[in-house]
Amino acid sequence: MRLSNSLSRLLGCLVLLAASGAVAQTPAVPSLTQTPPPVATGRVTVNASAAFADNNEPIRSGLVWRVYEDRGDTTPPTIVARSSSPTPGFTLPPGNYIMHLSYGFASASKRLSVRSGQVNERLTVSAGALKLKGAVGDSPIAPNRLSFTVYVPSGQNSEGRLVIANAKANDIIRLPEGTYHVVSTYGDANAIMRSDLKVESGRVTEATLNHRAATVTLKLVGTEGGEAFAGTAFSVLTPGGDVIREAIGAFPSVTLAEGEYVLIARHEGKVYTRDFTVESGLDRDIEIVVPPT
pLDDT digits (tens, 9 = 90+) for 6-55: 434 433 433 333 333 333 333 343 443 445 455 455 789 999 999 999 89
User: How would residue 102 be classed by pLDDT, with cut points 50, 70 and 90?
Assistant: very high
Instruction: State residue 293's pLDDT score.
Output: 75
Instruction: State residue 27's pLDDT score.
Output: 38
Q: DSSP string covering 77-111, please? A: PEEEEEE--SS-EEEE-SEEEEEEEEETTEEEEEE
With a CB cutoff of 8 Å and minimum separation 6, the contacts of 264 are: 234, 235, 237, 271, 272, 273
Q: Is the pLDDT of residue 146 over 80?
A: yes
- pLDDT: is 32 or 103 the higher one? 103
CA dihedral (255, 135, 161, 125) in degrees, to 10, reads: -150
Percent of the chain whose predicted confidence (pLDDT) is above 90:
80
Q: For the whole model, what pTM was predicted?
A: 0.78
Instruction: State residue 18's pLDDT score.
Output: 35
